[in-house]
Structure 1
Amino acid sequence: MSEKTFDLGWGDEEEPETTADTLTAVDTTRDAQRQQTQAQLIAEHVEAAVEAARPGLDKIPDPVEPAGDGDLTADEKERLDLCIGGVDLLSTAFWVAGKSLDTMATGRLFRRLPHKLEPERYYETIEEWAWLEHGIKQSRCSKLRAAWPLGEVLSARGYNAPEGQVRELVPLKNRYGLNAGVAMYEVAVQQYGADKVTAGGLRDLVKLLPEELALQDDEDADQIARMLQGVVENAEPKELPASTGIPAAVRRSVDRRALALADTLNRSRIPRAEVERHLLEAFADPEDTTVFDAVLERMRKQKQPK
């Protein structure tokens, strides 16, 4: 009987590697599909976030009559939030417009824009383009261009500074640099509170500064703010001439007493206006009539016949 050789193998020797390659390819395909799905979800989330953040009139609810005289309904509260957000965009819009104008002007990006009234030629200045295309006067264009850097930095610091407030600081920024303007706003926040800063308050603080400030180029806004805070606290307000009804001797006595008060409070000096303000507040205090009573007694004595 001849011997027979039986092949009991399950395939050729290359088959195990082929199977492993197949499994690897399946895993790779699954990973690619998973990554593609994740990327699609991320893109959808980003698109939704961009749409939610996009400003526009279509996002502001139309005016309707109130639901009642009492507390706001849930729908009214939602409408209120949308409206407040729309108003808050106003300050940001100023700086977006200002920066856009400045970028266009600096790079002369308008140089190939056809003139609105004379299409055969191009705009020659940013002011010409801004006025004819958007009704922005030359003076306003200049103010927007000058103010946007301050508005941008203050916004980054969390302040919603209106255009009128920032304009009060532009001369300071033009003279001493951007950080000086930012620092002055920080001083105003310390003086009045972040929610009580006004254009008038900023104007008053700037008036207290001397004609020349010793500012270093390498100082940051916070360093400058600390210096300006000290300047403001020790500044002599620009007051009207003293009333001739107050004798000079009395004014000198007031100044001496103010110096004594400053020593007690560990301050270098106290402006006369600050003393007067405290005196008037104490005189008008309905709960503590000490000053009022003292003034009353002095006036009674002066009226008594000698």
Structure 2
Amino acid sequence: MSESNYDLGWGDEDEPEEAADTLTAVDTVRDEKQRQNQAKLIAEAVEQAAPGLHKIPDPVEPAGEGALTDEERQRYEQCLEGVDLGNNAWFIQGKALDTIATGRLFRDTPHKLEPERNYRTIEEWAPLEKGISVSKCSKLRAGWEIGEVLAAREYDVNPGQVREIVPVKNAYNLNAAIAVYVLVADTWGEDQVTAERLRNTVKMLPGDLELDQDEDVDALAKTIKGVLVEEIQPPVSRAIPPAVTRAVDKRAIGIADALNRPRIPRSEVTLRLMEAFADPEDTTVYDAVLERMQQAEKDAQKAARKALK
């Protein structure tokens, strides 16, 4: 056999360059496939996270009675996500609008009616691009932060309710607005919070109200409640009413008779009352005082509820 018939050599000296070109092409194809796979994974992740009606299972009859099947449990969880999305959609939309407006992200979008120029304001962009009125856009932008915080605290809140406490946020801060909602919810119950009750509460806030900017929501709610109770009820006098003084003097006479003493000074009666109130073993006086103060607190609550109607 001749060498020409069975050439076992590496070929001429140009072949290594061709081989290198082949390897480069293989690397390019491989890199492109990797990019495509990565893009596919990203697209799938985005699709999984994005809301959509197609993700909600179609209505079907129960698989049976009693406990849900695994498939039904999965379908139930998917539907719950849809319900929660519907409850939260308004302030998600508000945040999106606020982000677009604040960053002027519409500024290189051609105007739909005047394509020779771009949008200049959110008020131009929202109605034409998304069919959202200027008024609704402003309200959603103003209220989304309140809605987000209240939802995080597991309150079922709607835009109409939030609209009533936006002025508190503007006048003080976000926590103050949340505190007003919490106060009304604590007073009436979470399921009894209405826009009207929130509006009435805001109206009752005195013009010279001062709130600590560093207080948390619950502390602010207590502060506002205390202010409103004082506004509703006349200030309680710290002086002992004459009728009470006369009644004490009469009871002191009874004690003096029982002790066979000519009189009992009022200061001594006060001392003994304080000792009896502080006695850890006999809580009779303490319990009586506590009961009276609890009743006074209930009366104040009733007055607050009446005022918030």
TM-score, length basis structure 2 = 0.55
Give the 5 Å matches for 1:10-21: none
Over residues 209-232 of structure 1, what are the superposed CA-to-partner deviations in whole Å (9 max), with x where a residue is unaligned?
Answer: 323311123333232112012234
Deviation, 1:87, is 2.6
**How many angstroms apart in 2 are the aligned matches of 1:156 and 1:275?**
27
Partner residue in 1 for 2:241: none
Deviation, 1:233, is 4.1
Equivalent pair of 2:187/2:305 in contact (CA under 8 Å): no
Deviation, 1:171, is 1.4
Structure 1 gaps, min length 5: 1-43, 238-261, 278-306
Q: How big is the alpha-carbon RMSD for the aligned residues of Structure 1 and Structure 2?
A: 3.9
Over residues 38-96 of structure 1, what are the superposed CA-to-partner deviations in whole Å (9 max), with x where a residue is unaligned?
Answer: xxxxxx8x9988765542111112345x5599879656665455334323212322222
The one-letter code matched in structure 2 to 1:126 is: I
**How many angstroms apart in 2 are the aligned matches of 1:229 and 1:70?**
49
**How many angstroms apart in 2 are the aligned matches of 1:186 and 1:236?**
19
**How many angstroms apart in 1 are the aligned matches of 2:44 and 2:117?**
42
Equivalent pair of 1:234/1:270 in contact (CA under 8 Å): no
Partner residue in 1 for 2:89: 93
User: Taking every aligned residue pair, what percent have the same amino acid on both sides?
Assistant: 49
Q: 1:218 aligns with which of 214, 221, 225?
A: 214
Q: 1:173 aligns with which of 169, 175, 178?
A: 169
Q: Residues 236 and 55 from structure 1, CA distance in 2 versus in 1: closer, same or farther, beyond 3 angstroms?
A: same
Q: Residues 82 and 194 from structure 1, CA distance in 2 versus in 1: closer, same or farther, beyond 3 angstroms?
A: farther
Determine which structure has greater relative contact order: mean sequence separation of CA pairs < 8 Å that are 6+ residues apart, divided by chain length: 2
**How many angstroms apart in 1 are the aligned matches of 2:158 and 2:295?**
37
**How many angstroms apart in 1 are the aligned matches of 2:67 and 2:194?**
30
Structure 2 gaps, min length 5: 1-40, 234-290
Q: Residues 122 and 206 from structure 1, CA distance in 2 versus in 1: closer, same or farther, beyond 3 angstroms?
A: same
Q: 2:117 aligns with which of 109, 118, 121?
A: 121
Q: Residues 121 and 47 from structure 1, CA distance in 2 versus in 1: closer, same or farther, beyond 3 angstroms?
A: closer
**How many angstroms apart in 2 are the aligned matches of 1:179 and 1:209?**
15
**How many angstroms apart in 1 are the aligned matches of 2:79 and 2:181?**
27
Partner residue in 1 for 2:129: 133
Over residues 193-219 of structure 1, what are the superposed CA-to-partner deviations in whole Å (9 max), with x where a residue is unaligned?
Answer: 344433333234334332331112333
Partner residue in 2 for 1:108: 104
Q: 2:152 aligns with which of 145, 156, 161?
A: 156
Q: 1:60 aligns with which of 52, 56, 71?
A: 56
Partner residue in 2 for 1:82: 78
Q: 1:182 aligns with which of 153, 178, 187?
A: 178
SS of alignment partner, residue 179 of structure 2: helix
Equivalent pair of 2:228/2:304 in contact (CA under 8 Å): no
Deviation, 1:263, is 6.1
1:209 paired to 2:196: no
**How many angstroms apart in 1 are the aligned matches of 2:142 and 2:223?**
24
Deviation, 1:170, is 0.8
Equivalent pair of 2:94/2:137 in contact (CA under 8 Å): yes
1:143 paired to 2:139: yes
Equivalent pair of 1:234/1:269 in contact (CA under 8 Å): no
Q: Residues 112 and 150 from structure 1, CA distance in 2 versus in 1: closer, same or farther, beyond 3 angstroms?
A: same
Equivalent pair of 1:147/1:167 in contact (CA under 8 Å): yes
Q: Residues 127 and 267 from structure 1, CA distance in 2 versus in 1: closer, same or farther, beyond 3 angstroms?
A: same
**How many angstroms apart in 1 are the aligned matches of 2:299 and 2:72?**
51
Deviation, 1:132, is 0.2
**How many angstroms apart in 2 are the aligned matches of 1:119 and 1:171?**
38
**How many angstroms apart in 2 are the aligned matches of 1:207 and 1:276?**
14
Over residues 220-276 of structure 1, what are the superposed CA-to-partner deviations in whole Å (9 max), with x where a residue is unaligned?
Answer: 323211201223444439xxxxxxxxxxxxxxxxxxxxxxxx965464894697499
Aligned pair count? 211
TM-score, length basis structure 1 = 0.56
SS of alignment partner, residue 109 of structure 1: coil
After alignment, is 95-104 or 187-196 more displaced? 187-196
**How many angstroms apart in 2 are the aligned matches of 1:112 and 1:276?**
52
